[in-house]
Structure 1
Amino acid sequence: MWRTTSSFSFVQPLCHGNERSYLLQFKDSFVINKSASSEPWAYPKVASWTLEGNNNDCCSWDGVECDEFTGHVIGLDLNSSCLYGSIDSTSSLFHLDRLQRLNLADNHFKYSQIPSTFSNLSELTHLDLSSSVFASQIPLEVSQLSQLSFLNLSGNTHLELKKPSFRSLVENLTCLEKLDLSCVEIISIVPNILANLSSLTFLRLRDCRLYGEFPVGIFKLPNLQVLNVGYNEGLTGYLPDFQWSSTLERIGLAKTNFSGKLPASIGNLGSLTTISIWGCNFSGFIPSSLGNLTSLNSLDLSFNTFEGHIPSSFGNLVQLSFLFLTSNKFTGPIPFELANLTKLTALNLGRNEFVGQIPSSIFNLTNLEYLELSINYFSGTVEFDKFVKLKKLTHLLLSDIQVSLLESETSANRTIQNKFPNFLAKQDELELLDLQGNNIHGQLPEWVWNMRSLPIPSSSTLQYRASHNSFVGKISELICNLSSLQVLQLSENNLSGPLPQCLHNFGDSLVVLDIRRNKFEGSIPQTWANGSKLMIINFSQNKFQGWLPRSLAKCITLKALDLSNNQFNDTFPSWLGNLPNLKILILRSNKFYGPIKVHSVNYEFPNLQIVDLSYNSFTGMLPVELFQNLNSSRSDCAYHLSYIQVNSYFVLEYGYQDVVSSFKYSFSMMMTNKGVHTIYEKVQEIFTAFDFSSNRFAGDIPESIGNIKVLRLLNLSNNILTGHIPPTLRNLAELESLDLSQNKLVGEIPQQLTQLTFLESFNVSHNDLVGLIPQGKQFNTFQNSSFEGNSKLCGNPLSKKCKYYKALPPLSSTSKKSQDSGSPLQFGWRIVMIGYGCGLLVGVTIGHIVIERKHDWLMKTFGVRQPVPGRKV
């Protein structure tokens, strides 16, 4: 049978019956599931594959392409067709041996392996299996498809290329024009053989865990237009001297270890539209020849160590819509020539060393959607009313810009006032506003909460950060319209009044809620949503009252809760005990009362490491269960030099360019350490501290405290504790501060406490202790005040001598070496060797501290006074 087409003067044969059957079998092997494809325009193309009516010509089916002369199926385009199911080597697909083009991208093939029978499709020139949930090893048979000019296996994060190797895959594919293996786990060097693929126009190897030096010859490929090897942090290389004719249009090296300078010859690459080299190790000055690239649409040089001025030749880049220079060492004023870049939609000059005034010409860039000038050394004034011209702004970041804010340029009597800029009232497209650290004061205007909060891409969030200013007034209920917030940070202002009861609306998105150091009052809203994502809550230093909301127990991701310095009146929140991630609980200086009841059989508070209950009215015995449940067996190395923090980020899409905006929030707190109120701007993951002071705890000190071998700070002072000091405290090898003062403890101070070689602060004053104060090591550094108020204590440093005590003879050199593990240098080096498990730098640092301490102990023993060095947390 033949049919005549309306658009051609010749007849075209119907599809072959056996191929029609193969297609129908292929269709029947899948389930149609809309969630199997991610594109919003996805639809089930195979729904048209049916024999009903006059639809038996498979060449007319959606996504099927036939040869116009032979009728054989030569192309299948099932991209985003909602296919869900596995493909194996017996699939009828592999009987379509005339296929030349196959696109199965954006479907869900259930982590099945790419079948080796793809080699049956020997005429394939185009193969696209991207983002289709394939897994396991790429079969060697793919390399037998020697006619391939297009191969895209990207976006399959469970796909591997190890055996065969990267080289084995591509060495037979000599016709390749486009190769995309992004997100495939390759873990390999980049083979030099790629530099021989003279037809290659597109090479994308993003996030493949590549390492080693990138072959410079690839830059010299005569037809290469797109090169992207970003997000391979082990990959090194440099930009060559471009002294040849090049077709390069896009260069992507972001998040690699490429280094060196930008060669002046980069200005010869006249076809370049995109340069993305952020997060590398590039340095030096920007060559003015970069201004020759008049076709540039996107330029991202962020997170390198470029220095010097921005060349005035940047004003020639009139096609530029995306310019990111953040986090470098650029200096000088912002060149006024940037005013020529009227197509800019994203401009980030933050985190540099720019000086001078912010040029008013920036306000003429009326297409700006994203503007960041934060953390520079600007001077002068900013006429904030000019921002009203930027009607498309969605992201405005002006933190720590060190300028004075001028409210109106038309006022006859203009005064410099750092008050909340009213121009923002008209910026109803704003999604992110950052004005931290600008000393803005005055009442927070009502219109702030009327700012429109538009939806943003699925992986992005909204943040409102306005801490370290002088805002006054209440928080309006309208804040609850910002239902996509991840970060609400209003700390260190003068805000007052109650919190809006609608705060529970944030339960599905909010990660950080920090409103410390304001004047808020009243009770905390009692309702928090199920599935809350909150990780940090800091309500400290306000005037909150009443009970804690029991629904906080639903915040299963909560890491830190700081309620200190308020007027809460409640019992101990044992109902928080099932929160698996809670590490920090600070209730200091409130009106909490009653005994603490924790049921150890339920493994409550499994990860609690910092507890501050000081200055309350707790009674009863010390909560032994808290000590028993603490996970003290974790490896210090895993937490060394890391901090309790939240990393929040979102991705913005501006044309073809993704903008990753990140936010790192480090939890900070105040605790009493060594008798001093200490502010911890950051809290190490390894830091463990208990402060139960200034309550009415009674009874003995539980011996189980000695099991917490990572404890750094223990304060049980100003209670009514009785009994002896447990000798098990000698096991607290990391202890730096121990305060047992102002209690009713009896008996002797255990001699074993001299084993606490990191102990810098020790206080047992005002108890009923008796006998000889332990001598030697750290105890030789403590002052009289550590022991006063114990009338029956004697020995150094007190003036009272022990009447019936005979000093022990000094240790011989042999026994001293045995006891102290050698000389001070040897002792310190032993710690250095232990430190290797966590890194040489940490080990050497600890070793040095121990050496210094041992040295000071020796000097004091032999009569030389020298201060004991501190050990910072």
Structure 2
Amino acid sequence: MGLSLSLFVFMRLLFLFPQLHLILTLSSPFMQPLCHHDESLALLQFKESFVIDKNASDAYGRIDCGKVASWTVLEGDKSDCCSWDGVECDEASGYVIGLHLRSSCLYGSINSNNSLFRLVHLQRLDLSYNHFNYSPIPPQVRNLSRLAYLNLSASMFSGQIPLEISQLSQLSSLDLSQDYSLLELKKPSLRSLVGNLTHLQELDLSGVSIISVIPTILANLSSLTFLYLDDCGLHGEFPMGIFKLPNLRVLWVGYNEGLIGHLPDFTWSSPLEALVLTATSFSGELPPSIGNLIYLNSLNVRGCNFSGFIPSTLGNLTNLTFLRLSNNTFTGEVPSSIGNLNLLSFLDLRQNQLTGPILFHLVNLMQLKDLYLQSNHFTGEIPVEILNLTGLSVLSLRGNKLRGRIPNSIFNLKNLQVLDLAMNYFSGTVEFDEFVKLKHLTILYLSYNQLSLLFKEPNVNSSFPKFQCLWLSSCNLSKFPDFLRNQDELQYLELSDNYLRGQVPEWMLNIGKASMEIFSLANNFLTGFGQHPILLPWTRLAFLDLSCNLLQGSLPIPAASNLKYYLISNNSLTGNVPEFFCNLTSLQVLDLARNSLSGSLPRCLDNFGASLSVLNLQRNKFQGSISENWVKGSQLKIIIFSQNQFRGRLPRSLVKCTMLKVLDLGNNQFNDRFPSWLKNLPNLKVLILRSNKFNGPIEISNSKYMFPNLQIIDLSYNSFVGKLPLEIFCNWTVKKFETAHHLTYIQVNSTLTSFSKTLGTYINGSFGYDYSMTMTNKGNDMFFEKVQELFTAVDMSSNRFLGEIPNSIENLKGCILLNLSNNILTGHIPPSLGKLEDLEALDLSQNKLSGEIPQELTQLNFLGFFNVSRNNLSGPIPQGKQFNTFENNSFEGNQGLCGRPLTKKCENFDELPSPSSISEGSQDYELPFEFGWKIVVIGYAFGLVLGVTIWCTVIARKHDWLMKTFIIR
């Protein structure tokens, strides 16, 4: 009775005082307030402004397309928006204070009147990993003035970041990072953006196009704990004060190539846990004080300019789990203190100049999973300590000086997924069946050692792992390994530089049909595929190399329309270029050189303009003229048409090839004037027109932009007339060669990227295509397999150039080879030739030059070849230095010359024949084209180290011209 009365009184009070309901609701510990109607409506309108599309969210992390789709007003609990998925409300007021919609499949634009901006109580907003259709970030974001957390990363916003974000003064975390540089921060600048955000603890602008220096104001953000400025186009000096921020735990500024700086002496207590400077221009040495960063668990300085020794104090960083020092110039031995890092799981020291044996107390690194030591100068054998690291999944020792046998105990590393021993000096015989023990092995590189692989007869009980990558080049294989029959997951198969003969087995065309991306059988003795035409079935093939074999018949036809590399030079293939090439619109390198292909070029070759960078048709039987519009040329860097039967005019559309480095048209039947219209190509280094029917005078107006980077020109064996066209070289200065590295070559580099299911990451395959050429030197045709960036040469021989050699020839600074022979040049040899101090070969033979040989030529300290034969020269031959090495044939046919090495002494100049009589006796030597013999010189080098070979015969076992370097990103 008492309970019923109390309930009656309570209900009566509620009826008389309805506001009591609100008071009790807010104060009750058991009841949550309903969200406000206006905010519920705003959320529903926000939902309706987008399409739910599963392709709108990236695959990183968990995608939840049903999150926003479930928002609806229904009877019961779901009518409260505070219970909706991704919505967070304040427990006391019921206002929406958080919206967590990461990877919610939202697709559409956010405009300035979007209902989102009515949620003015928001404190946390996460719209990351959606697709907002490249719309700009609306300035109305300033309405959300209470925001402490804002994450718009990877959501396809674009354009300028609005200054209004700087008005969100309560922000402690701001993430606007992008993958595609869609956002930019220029007006306002980075300084303007962060100037008012004094409470920032986390700032991530990775991928935003900032393109500025880093403002020192960042060093004033004392609360900052995480700073990510990856790939922002930052440049200039890195502010040293940022390292001293008292709370900074993560500093990530990688992939800003223009960002310079050095590491300070860490003499203060720092909470830094991760330091990432990848691919910046930081330089200097790692300071010993780096050992004071005792909380550091990740250090990544890959691809910087660090040098010197690796400090032993790194061993103090016992919390390190990730250490990457690759792609620098560290020298010396690896300190043994590295063995103190017993938590280390990832160690990458590749591509440095490290020496000594691989020791550094590896036995203690029992947590190590990934070990990259390739491309150094490590010596000795594989240490036993490595073989005790049973947790290893990646072991890469490629490109060192390791030797000895591959120890059998390596097959005890049961968790190995990647084993790379290529390009060392390992020797002996390896039984391939041993790799059966490594059940997880999918990537194996054994190429270019001194190994012989032994394959036993097929065993029905043998179960080889399913390989993704197999690199077995130069492994003395004489037949195709039978175990390949069942390798249906192969992505990369490299069997080049072996002794494979005859027909390719039919079953080889069945392996990896849906997975093969790189396939190479180059440098073998293969004759065909047993079918005509040759149909290659691999639908994902991106790289095909069948060069340097004995293949016959027509060109193989790939099924993959996205093929990027087609390399089939040095075979015996015949027929035309088939129409299937018209579909290969992704081609980057097309090399058909040194076959017996014929016919004219397909008109469809202009389809390649958007992607093709190398087109090599050298030494075939192609004929006909080249269409005026055959090339789009946006990416072409090397064009080689030499040694064919092309005729007619050069297509003027070549002027579109603004990236062109090499144009080699030698030994054809082109009939045209000198292509002075190419003079403005900014990157042209090599112009070869030798042995054609080019004619007429070479007239080029003076211009500071004329052939600005030309360094090799060969006009020999044509019918050019008039004066020597030295105006071509008015921009030729030694300065542009001073920065060229002596061991770099004229080549085209590109990268193939593929996803490795084994590693869960991308593998980059880097390929360097070297330009090779033939030039006359020492009176012989010399084949240069590679051409150094530093090499400079001028050959205008065997034309009808006349007149004197002007003193302006001294402008050819840096010239190494100069050939003006077999013309109608008159007058004296200019003493200014003595200023070409790098000259190594000078040929002025078979002209009408008169007077004495200038004494100044003895200053040419590198001159290894000199020929002034068959001219009208007189007087004594200069003596001393290099002139003491030249023989009679350098001076023969000049009746007025005397002195060593000639037998005629210089005692009485009055008895020498007069210039007129010398001229009359020299008529037999007037006409051009009198070189009667040519050979290919093998192994010759002068001054610079130049690789010389005789084409690409199978006797030369090393496939040098194609450099393959696979790295893991």
TM norm structure 2: 0.68
SS of alignment partner, residue 551 of structure 1: helix
SS of alignment partner, residue 545 of structure 1: strand
SS of alignment partner, residue 527 of structure 2: coil
| Matched pairs, number | 766
8 Å Cα contact 2:394-2:418 kept in structure 1: yes
Structure 1 position 776 matched with structure 2 position 857: no
Aligned with 2:446 (options 338, 341, 349): 349
8 Å Cα contact 1:357-1:381 kept in structure 2: no
Once the two structures are TM-superposed, the CA of residue 648 in structure 1 deviates from its matched residue by 0.8
Aligned with 1:577 (options 668, 671, 679): 679
Indicate how the Cα distance of structure 1 residues 715 and 111 shifts in structure 2: closer, same or farther if over 3 A, else same: closer
The correspondence of residues 282-681 of structure 1 with structure 2, limited to 5 A, is: 282-288=378-384, 290-334=386-430, 335-341=432-438, 343-357=440-454, 367-374=466-473, 376-382=474-480, 387=484, 389-404=486-501, 407-408=504-505, 418-421=526-529, 425-437=536-548, 439-447=549-557, 449-453=558-562, 462-527=564-629, 529-530=631-632, 532-601=634-703, 603-626=705-728, 629=730, 631-634=732-735, 637-639=738-740, 641-642=742-743, 644-650=745-751, 652=753, 653-654=755-756, 655=759, 657-681=761-785
TM norm structure 1: 0.75
Structure 1 position 273 matched with structure 2 position 384: no
Residues 525-561 of structure 1, C-alpha deviations (whole Å, 9 max, x = no match)? 4335455333322222222222222212222232332
Indicate how the Cα distance of structure 1 residues 348 and 524 shifts in structure 2: closer, same or farther if over 3 A, else same: farther
Indicate how the Cα distance of structure 1 residues 49 and 341 shifts in structure 2: closer, same or farther if over 3 A, else same: farther
SS of alignment partner, residue 231 of structure 1: coil
Q: Which residue of 2 aligns with 1:12?
A: 91
Structure 1 position 683 matched with structure 2 position 787: yes
Indicate how the Cα distance of structure 1 residues 484 and 372 shifts in structure 2: closer, same or farther if over 3 A, else same: farther
CA distance in 2, matches of 1:233, 1:240: 19
The correspondence of residues 721-760 of structure 1 with structure 2, limited to 5 A, is: 721-746=825-850, 759-760=863-864
8 Å Cα contact 2:312-2:337 kept in structure 1: no
Gaps of 5+ in 2: 1-25, 27-31, 35-81, 128-146, 151-169, 509-523, 912-941, 945-969
CA distance in 2, matches of 1:272, 1:49: 54
Q: Which residue of 1 aligns with 2:119?
A: 55
Tell me how large the CA RMSD over aligned residues is.
4.6
Once the two structures are TM-superposed, the CA of residue 419 in structure 1 deviates from its matched residue by 1.9
8 Å Cα contact 1:49-1:58 kept in structure 2: no
Indicate how the Cα distance of structure 1 residues 472 and 324 shifts in structure 2: closer, same or farther if over 3 A, else same: farther
Indicate how the Cα distance of structure 1 residues 95 and 220 shifts in structure 2: closer, same or farther if over 3 A, else same: closer
SS of alignment partner, residue 635 of structure 2: coil
SS of alignment partner, residue 541 of structure 1: coil
Once the two structures are TM-superposed, the CA of residue 286 in structure 1 deviates from its matched residue by 1.9
The correspondence of residues 115-194 of structure 1 with structure 2, limited to 5 A, is: 116=217, 122=223, 126-132=226-232, 142=242, 146-159=246-259, 165=264, 167=266, 171-174=268-271, 176-183=272-279, 185-192=281-288, 194=290
CA distance in 2, matches of 1:451, 1:355: 33
CA distance in 1, matches of 2:684, 2:740: 16
CA distance in 2, matches of 1:531, 1:271: 52
8 Å Cα contact 2:350-2:372 kept in structure 1: yes
Deviates more, 1:654-663 or 1:573-582: 654-663
SS of alignment partner, residue 578 of structure 1: coil
Deviates more, 1:85-94 or 1:578-587: 85-94
Residues 784-813 of structure 1, C-alpha deviations (whole Å, 9 max, x = no match)? 544554556666666667785389xxxxxx
**Matched AA of 1:487:** V
**Matched AA of 1:463:** Y
Q: Which residue of 1 aligns with 2:511?
A: none
Gaps of 5+ in 1: 24-38, 455-461, 808-843, 847-873
SS of alignment partner, residue 749 of structure 2: strand
8 Å Cα contact 1:754-1:774 kept in structure 2: no
Residues 756-802 of structure 1, C-alpha deviations (whole Å, 9 max, x = no match)? 565554444444x2643435336666555445545566666666677
Indicate how the Cα distance of structure 1 residues 749 and 530 shifts in structure 2: closer, same or farther if over 3 A, else same: same
**Matched AA of 1:520:** F
Once the two structures are TM-superposed, the CA of residue 716 in structure 1 deviates from its matched residue by 3.3
SS of alignment partner, residue 358 of structure 2: coil
**Matched AA of 2:662:** A
SS of alignment partner, residue 468 of structure 1: coil
Once the two structures are TM-superposed, the CA of residue 646 in structure 1 deviates from its matched residue by 1.3
Structure 1 position 718 matched with structure 2 position 822: yes
Once the two structures are TM-superposed, the CA of residue 58 in structure 1 deviates from its matched residue by 0.5
8 Å Cα contact 1:66-1:73 kept in structure 2: yes
Once the two structures are TM-superposed, the CA of residue 517 in structure 1 deviates from its matched residue by 2.5
Q: Which residue of 1 aligns with 2:300?
A: 204
Q: Which residue of 2 aligns with 1:820?
A: none
Once the two structures are TM-superposed, the CA of residue 377 in structure 1 deviates from its matched residue by 4.4
8 Å Cα contact 1:15-1:57 kept in structure 2: no
8 Å Cα contact 2:319-2:341 kept in structure 1: no
Once the two structures are TM-superposed, the CA of residue 620 in structure 1 deviates from its matched residue by 3.2
SS of alignment partner, residue 480 of structure 2: strand
Residues 2-51 of structure 1, C-alpha deviations (whole Å, 9 max, x = no match)? 8465499996256999x99xx9xxxxxxxxxxxxxxx9999999989977
Indicate how the Cα distance of structure 1 residues 405 and 261 shifts in structure 2: closer, same or farther if over 3 A, else same: farther
Residues 421-470 of structure 1, C-alpha deviations (whole Å, 9 max, x = no match)? 46982322221123444x232124442x333426xxxxxxx333333333
CA distance in 2, matches of 1:757, 1:59: 76
CA distance in 1, matches of 2:104, 2:623: 46
The correspondence of residues 41-120 of structure 1 with structure 2, limited to 5 A, is: 55-59=119-123, 61-62=125-126, 76-80=174-178, 84-85=184-185, 86=188, 97=199, 103-111=204-212, 113=214, 116=217
8 Å Cα contact 1:366-1:389 kept in structure 2: no
Q: Which residue of 2 aligns with 1:864?
A: none
Indicate how the Cα distance of structure 1 residues 408 and 487 shifts in structure 2: closer, same or farther if over 3 A, else same: closer
**Matched AA of 1:648:** N
Deviates more, 1:130-139 or 1:519-528: 130-139
SS of alignment partner, residue 333 of structure 1: strand
CA distance in 1, matches of 2:747, 2:671: 30
CA distance in 2, matches of 1:306, 1:674: 41
Indicate how the Cα distance of structure 1 residues 579 and 380 shifts in structure 2: closer, same or farther if over 3 A, else same: same
SS of alignment partner, residue 735 of structure 2: coil
Indicate how the Cα distance of structure 1 residues 303 and 480 shifts in structure 2: closer, same or farther if over 3 A, else same: farther
Indicate how the Cα distance of structure 1 residues 110 and 608 shifts in structure 2: closer, same or farther if over 3 A, else same: closer
SS of alignment partner, residue 402 of structure 2: strand
8 Å Cα contact 1:159-1:184 kept in structure 2: yes
Once the two structures are TM-superposed, the CA of residue 594 in structure 1 deviates from its matched residue by 2.5
Once the two structures are TM-superposed, the CA of residue 572 in structure 1 deviates from its matched residue by 2.0
**Matched AA of 1:523:** S
SS of alignment partner, residue 419 of structure 1: strand
SS of alignment partner, residue 502 of structure 1: helix
CA distance in 2, matches of 1:748, 1:144: 72
Once the two structures are TM-superposed, the CA of residue 512 in structure 1 deviates from its matched residue by 2.7
Residues 130-158 of structure 1, C-alpha deviations (whole Å, 9 max, x = no match)? 44555556656656654555444444555
